[in-house]
Every structure is written in structure tokens, then in C-alpha cells.
Amino acid sequence: MTEATLLPELIGRAADRTPQAMALTSAATSMAYADLATAVRQFAGGLRGLGLARSERVAIYLDKRFETVVASFGAPAAGGVFVPVNPLLKPEQVAFILQDCNVRVLVTSPERLALLPQALSECPDLRHVVVTGTATTTVAESMAFPARLTVTSWPDLLGANAQAGHRVIDTDMAAILYTSGSTGKPKGVVLSHRNMVAGAKSVASYLRNNPDDTLLAALPLSFDAGFSQLTTAFHAGA
């Protein structure tokens, strides 16, 4: 079996080796590698159904949850670029990031979306909002959304007719991670698939991670070190 060269392949290769091994656990709920790989493929297909073009940005404004992981790996699987947004940021800070890197799709929760109507009106490139849960009609009707925006529920996106993703190579962009902005405006750091996979392999190697390990995701997934806790675990099949 060949090693991963693209970010989503970290999950796919682990699913091929040990499909029923646990990939994620949150409180009393777990997700096996096979189920995570399927969700990533479905999310990628749903994004393509929305018309996501190659290298377009998908912002993820969520707390630490399964959907955050699926979206983070599903966006690059579709040929897009994922942009994790720190869930502690205020609406105007979120708007700055969405504007700065021309985000096309926003993935968020109903609670966080309720804070953003004004901010979203200031993001002309944004076209689609994917909301966790199923109550998209209620969400859309209760807010003054710009007419250009469509709102899709998470189950509807994953259940849409699958469409093939764009062709991706390891030097393509996979992610744009933003600095904290403590000394000025946040700055986007562009990472390729090769950057992220090489980092996962390197860290997993010197930490000697193996499939029997359990890694605690104690850091925000919007930070490089926090997201590395996922990539190193998936590379090892932990």
C-alpha cells in the first residue's frame, strides 16, 4: 500500500488498513476510520455539487466536533482549500478572514451563524453556507441574509448526488491557517498537501506514534499544532 501524498489520504490509507479502528472520540461518541473516510468523500462530493472550483476557499467556523474534522479534510478532497477559523473570534474578525482569502463556502453551526448576518454582508465572494444540523429553513428565515447566499444543511450536503473532485497534486494548496493577530491583522499562512503530509509523517516519527495510541486534541484545531494532532494520529492510524 502506497503512503499518503495528499492530506485526505491520511484518513483513506488508515481506513484501508483498519476500517473499524476508532479514528475520533468525543464524549460518548466515536467514529471509525471507515465511517470518517466515507463522510469525507460525501462532504467533498457535496461541495462539488455546490460548484466549488479548484482552489476555492472553504472556511470552517466551528467548535471541536466531528463535522470540523470532516470539513477540514473534505474541502481539500474536493480540490478546494480549507480555512479553519478560531471559534473564539468575534464576527468582525471572522469577516476579515472571509474577505482576506475570498472564502466561497462557510461551514458553521446555527448558533454561530446567528452572530454573523452583518459580517456576511461584507463578504462579496461568499456564496454558500453549510449549517450543522437540519434546521436550515428556520435559520434562513430568521436572519437577513444577502440574496446571493444559499443555506444548506449538513445532512443535505452529505446526501447530495456525489460529484468527482478536481484533480489534485501534492504541491496544490490544502489549507490557509491564520495567525492569531496579536500584533496586527491576522495573516494567512498557505500550506500545500505536501507540507501537511510531510509534517504529519515527521511528527509521528519522532513521537513514535502507533495504531494503539490515543492522542488528546487539547489545542484549537485552527492552530497548526492543534491540527497536527489530527494529522499525526491519522498517519499512524491512532
pLDDT of 71-86, one tens digit each? 999 999 999 999 999 9
Q: Which cell is 199 given?
A: 509534517
Would the pLDDT of 226 be above 90? Answer: yes
Element spanning 167, H or E: none
Q: What single DSSP character describes residue 70? A: H
Would the pLDDT of 51 be above 70? Answer: yes
Tell me what the pLDDT averaged over the chain comes to. Answer: 92
Residue 82: strand, helix, or coil: strand
How much is the pLDDT for 139?
A: 59
Q: Can you give the pTM of this predicted structure?
A: 0.94
How much is the pLDDT for 118?
A: 85
Percent with pLDDT over 70 in the chain: 95
How much is the pLDDT for 2?
A: 77
Amino acid identity at 83: V
Element spanning 190, H or E: strand 188-192
Find the angle CA(127)-CA(231)-CA(1) to the nearest 5 degrees. Answer: 110
How much is the pLDDT for 205?
A: 93
How much is the pLDDT for 165?
A: 73
Taking the CA atoms of 113, 166, 11 and 162 in sequence, report the sign of the dihedral they define. Answer: positive
CA 148 to chain centre: 23
Helices 33-49 and 66-77: angle between axes, nearest 10 degrees: 60
CA 74 to chain centre: 6
Would the pLDDT of 102 be above 60? Answer: yes
Whether the CB-CB separation of 79 and 165 falls below 8 Å is answered with: yes
Would the pLDDT of 90 be above 80? Answer: yes
* Confidence at 3, pLDDT banded by 50, 70, 90: confident
How much is the pLDDT for 75?
A: 97
Percent with pLDDT over 90 in the chain: 81
User: Per-residue pLDDT tens for 183-192?
Assistant: 778 899 999 9
How much is the pLDDT for 182?
A: 73
Would the pLDDT of 117 be above 60? Answer: yes
Q: Which cell is 31 given?
A: 467514529
